[in-house]
Amino acid sequence: MTESPKSEEKQQTILVVDDDEELRLALVKSLSKANYRVYAGANFTDGIEILRTQKIDLLLSDLKMPDKSGLDLLKEVKSISSQTRVIIITAYGEMSSYLEAMNIGAFDYINKPINRDELLEMVSRALDLPG
């Protein structure tokens, strides 16, 4: 579990949950450079711990993780903090998973490999919506 130190002037906080350490660290780096406060966890359990102790504006969660799925995390985040937006990240572009994520309340869904500019645009749109 990591947190990027960032200026307090930008209050928008993002949680990245992905078991792929290389991708997780790359996302933390990109989002931190874009001046977001970023927390990161490797699995469902890390994600829940952070969600229960920090105000998170946006969750970026991998769909497939070793302990539980990103859809499980999406369901849990909606019960902990209904205002938190969620973007599901996956290497698996299955339509049924996409539809389920959207029905549960995901803001959007992005496939790996992730285009940095596309992700930053999606994050910006998610965070610019009124709560």
Residues 6+ apart with CB under 8 A from 120: 30, 31, 34
In the prediction, which pLDDT does 6 show? 46
Amino acid identity for residue 2 in this structure: T
Q: What percent of the chain has pLDDT over 90?
A: 74
Q: Is 88 within 8 Å of 106 (Cβ atoms)?
A: yes
* Domain membership of residue 61 as a residue range: 2-128
- Residue 90 CA to residue 13 CA, distance in Å, equals 21
Q: Average pLDDT, stretch 94-110?
A: 88
Please report, for the domain that includes residue 106, its CATH number: 3.40.50.2300
Task: Enter the pTM of the model.
Answer: 0.89
Residues 46-71: pLDDT tens digits? 999 999 999 999 999 999 898 899 99
Mean pLDDT for all residues in the chain: 90
Please count the structural domains in the chain. 1
Residue 105, pLDDT above cutoff 80: yes
